[in-house]
Amino acid sequence: MSFRPLALLGGLLLALPAAAQAPIPPVIDWKAPATLPTYLLQQVHAQYAPRRAALDRALASAAGTAAYRDSVRARFRRVLGPLPTRTPLRARVVGTVPQAGFRIEKVIYESQPRHHVTANLYVPEGGGRRPAALLLCGHEQASKATPSYQLTARLLARNGFVVLVVDPVSQGERMQLVDGSGKPLTRGGTTEHTLLNAQANLLGRTLPAEELWDNVRGLDYLLARPEVDAARAGCLGNSGGATQTAYLLAYDDRVRAAALCSYVAAGERNLTLTGPADGCVMLPGAGAAGLDVADWLLAFAPKPLLLLTGRYDFVDQTDMAAAHADARRAYAALGAADQTDSFTYDDGHGISAPKRAAAVAWLRRWLGATAPPVAEGTDQPLPEATLRCTTTGQVATAFKDEQSLAAGHLAEARRLAQARPAYSPEGLARVVSRQLAPAMRGPQAGSMSVVPGDTLRLPGGLAWQNLLLRRDGEPPLPARLLLPAPGAPAPTRFVLWLPGQGTAAVLRDSAARLAAYQRQGAAVLLADLRGLGETADLPAFNDPKYYNQEYRPALLALHLGRPLLAQRVLDVTTILTLLRNDARFWQLPILLRAEGRTALVALHAALLSPQVYKQPVTVTYDAAPAGPPPVRGPEIEQVQVSGGPPSFQYYLDNPAAKDAYSDVLPGVLRTYDVPDLRRALGARLLP
């Protein structure tokens, strides 16, 4: 049976009385917004539980520690994603700033073709080869010109180090999302990092890998300088720069000693206390790979490593102490207990003078600095303009051929689209099933239940049965069921409506449409998929700088390796399986309606719906059919979607678009895009 598009019913579709605007009482009787974050954090804890036991076993011996370290490196490389190939650096010095005892060279190199990196090189006076240090900046917008980084580089230079200070992507002179005049399109570097990481994730890449590559190529340049002894290279980073340093240590063996200050990483405790960090930190699947904060420290063992912390830093001091305790155990097992240490000062976040002094002393000790130590004096940082490498202040406007990361992402997406095969509906269903498999690993075979609640009676005569849909191992779904009016024939069709803004909004704003469905003999189920409607995360936990109203749950889900979009498709399979086991509905054709954040969910679920019935389930339902469940369940006969992105590539075409992470499936653009789903659904997809 097919649905006919609803005709305009004129005066019959009357607005509800003013009383209908009263708040709609929820289905869930606890603090529902905590449901999804709590569930995801429980999943995080469950993923990390085996790691502690494995680490304790490994650290009992040198061989076990070495094997664990090598495993960390391999797992890191896997979640990091692909890296570019080495191409000519085309490095050049575009200016020099003389200083007492050293000079500052303005350096530009290409980490990838036409992708320019700006940096300052501090070169001490005198001859001979010197130890070197790569200094990686945190999230200060001035980057290499930030006073604390200038003072750190100056102190290192006065102590005989050749120092390269690199502008990270989206900071300093390297903003990636700008207009033709170089004006940023977003609110700053951390927002750019986050948006760029979403784009990269859709391509099966990560921004941390792209940022790492800038630093690998910077190290290439530094170690090729004639003033540098390549066997004595160190790395020092603060905050986001400490994250960059940690990732570099786990990848590049050329670094011989390192110091991390105010180290930020995504691990079990940090995710619990402060939630996901900026996009340059977050690696999809890191939790599934069992990688925690301490693991990047362990990946460097037994090379000399110093951890610098502030007692009152927002980066959890307890977590840092625990991470370094694990590092000490690893170093001791490898016979190098003296090659790791920590320094804590009674201050907050950042590389203050005491921490700078400790870092320089550490690098001097392990990289063979022979000149007498020099303490920090009265050096003053230089103005940002003095250290600028480009003529315009931004690589985007200084180089006509500049290839931003956003442009590179879009170019790759277009190449992939051109090479994408024309799938049959069955072939695409297999591809989509593989894409969603990690998130759909929930209990396909298991138990489900429907818990009936109160009846919600609204003006206009609509009586809704409140339901709570439960599936083992998954968060409950609040739903509301509308049956044909008392005395009317049994329903002849079923409308499954997935509101993007929650069921309460539909009950408030679409009462006329719902009443029309009832008159047409349809049963209607409104369901809030996880993280939507009643269970939407609170704005207070989702910093607006991330341009995503559900950043916390979306990034926790990606960390788990179970993207939020895919988890919501699993919710739809739960609903369909329950309908299959309800004697009133299992033979009815289904119209699946969705809008906004549920639009892509509906397209995926409709394509996969025939696969829902392949696994046995045990269902507790008041209206369960007598005898065994039917071989086939209700079919999604028609799909009606509005809103939502027209494609995954949309987020690359529109790099400042919001809420991308709600739709991120890592690597999806390597295999299919939304237009492929629409073509496969064919006539089932209503205009």
Percentage of the residues of the chain whose pLDDT score is greater than 90 = 85
Q: What pLDDT was estimated at residue 623?
A: 58
Mean pLDDT for 627-634 is 55
Task: Work out the angle at residue 447's Cα, subtended by the Cα atoms of residues 443 and 451, and round it to the nearest 5 degrees.
Answer: 125
Q: What pLDDT was estimated at residue 631?
A: 53
Give yes or no on whether 10-17+420-684 and 69-414 have one common fold.
Answer: yes
Closest CA to 119 of 157, 171, 75, 47: 171
Given a cut of 60, whether residue 497 has pLDDT beyond it is yes
Say how many CA atoms lie within 13 Å of 554 toward its Cβ.
26
Given a cut of 50, whether residue 14 has pLDDT beyond it is no
φ, ψ at 187 (rounded to 5°): -85, 0
Q: What pLDDT was estimated at residue 619?
A: 58
Given a cut of 60, whether residue 444 has pLDDT beyond it is no
| Band of pLDDT at residue 354, cut at 50, 70 and 90 | very high
Cis peptide before 302 (omega within 30 of 0): yes
Both tokens assigned to 247: 């990732």
Q: What pLDDT was estimated at residue 635?
A: 75
Q: What pLDDT was estimated at residue 316?
A: 92
Given a cut of 60, whether residue 615 has pLDDT beyond it is no
- Evaluate whether 191 touches 273 at the Cβ level (below 8 Å): no
Q: What pLDDT was estimated at residue 627?
A: 53
Question: Cα 373 from chain centroid?
Answer: 43
Closest CA to 601 of 570, 635, 633, 634: 570
Mean pLDDT for 454-477 is 92
Mean pLDDT for 39-46 is 97
User: For 196-233, what is each residue's pLDDT tens digit?
Assistant: 999 999 999 999 999 999 999 999 999 999 999 999 99
Superfamily assignment of 10-17+420-684 in CATH? Answer: Alpha/Beta hydrolase fold, catalytic domain (3.40.50.1820)
Q: Nearest 10 degrees: CA dihedral of 286, 266, 558, 542?
A: 180
φ, ψ at 662 (rounded to 5°): -60, -25
Give the relative orientation of helices 62-80 and 240-251 as an angle to the nearest 10 degrees.
110
- Phi/psi zone of residue 172: left (φ > 0), alpha (ψ -120 to 50 degrees), beta? left
Given a cut of 80, whether residue 621 has pLDDT beyond it is no
φ, ψ at 306 (rounded to 5°): -115, 135
For the chain, state the CA radius of gyration: 29
Instruction: State the average pLDDT for the chain.
Output: 92
Q: What pLDDT was estimated at residue 371?
A: 85
Q: What pLDDT was estimated at residue 10?
A: 31
Q: 307 in helix, strand or coil? A: strand
Beta bridge partners of 340: 305
Mean pLDDT for 244-265 is 97
Mean pLDDT for 429-442 is 86
Q: What pLDDT was estimated at residue 578?
A: 86
Q: 588 in helix, strand or coil? A: coil
Given a cut of 80, whether residue 108 has pLDDT beyond it is yes
Lowest mean pLDDT among 8-12, 366-370, 603-607: 8-12
Mean pLDDT for 562-583 is 92
Given a cut of 60, whether residue 453 has pLDDT beyond it is yes
DSSP 96: E
User: For 513-553, what is each residue's pLDDT tens digit?
Assistant: 999 999 999 999 999 999 999 999 999 999 999 999 999 99
Given a cut of 70, whether residue 22 has pLDDT beyond it is yes
Q: What pLDDT was estimated at residue 568?
A: 97
Pairwise CA distance, residues 513 & 97, whole Å: 71
Pairwise CA distance, residues 179 & 254, whole Å: 38
pTM above 0.85, yes or no: yes
Closest CA to 668 of 593, 614, 603: 603
Pairwise CA distance, residues 417 & 435, whole Å: 17
Domain definitions of the chain by residue range: 10-17+420-684, 69-414
User: For 153-176, what is each residue's pLDDT tens digit?
Assistant: 999 999 999 999 999 999 999 999
Cα–Cα distance list, 664 to 61, 81, 468, 491 (Å)? 41, 15, 27, 37
Pairwise CA distance, residues 67 & 58, whole Å: 8
Q: What pLDDT was estimated at residue 102?
A: 97
Q: What pLDDT was estimated at residue 583?
A: 84
Both tokens assigned to 76: 């890191």
Q: What pLDDT was estimated at residue 106?
A: 98
Instruction: Give the CATH architecture of domain 69-414.
Output: 3-Layer(aba) Sandwich (3.40)
Pairwise CA distance, residues 344 & 323, whole Å: 14
